[in-house]
Structure 1
């Protein structure tokens, strides 16, 4: 059991987790990920899964993303997505 620290939590002390992080991705001719830069350029060996999320279309900033579960040539698995609104790529951790 965790000891009570006596501190009261406030909204300004909470920190969001698992926020998407910008990532550099070279695209293939179809717009899918070909090379991901993680300190160095690593080619995508396999695209394991692809899915699209379109949500909150009624808001001023709609959510439209194309997700890719990829395996890089070094064996690392990543979930990345392209924001279809701003055209940028992001890395998403879970």
Structure 2
């Protein structure tokens, strides 16, 4: 058995080796939440196109749940009022 036939000879169906970014096929720093499967670099570039809005919180609430960072990402679907609230 030669060296070339040993590496990546088994199928990658689970674990970190089986997942990759859907934009750039990078395997590290993958954001899997909400089924995004995008690496963090591509998420920063494409977040506005996807519909995420960066929301800054007031200083009183900032340290409550988020620690020092003080900002979260919310989907625009959460920010839009429902049809019942409009009419």
- Report if TM-score (shorter chain) is over 0.5: no
* Structure with more of its chain in helix, by fraction: 2
Q: Please report the TM-score for the alignment, with normalisation by the length of structure 1.
A: 0.28
Query: What is the TM-score of this pair, normalised by structure 2?
Result: 0.29
The structure that is strand-richer by fraction is: 1
Greater relative contact order (Cα < 8 A, sep 6+): 1
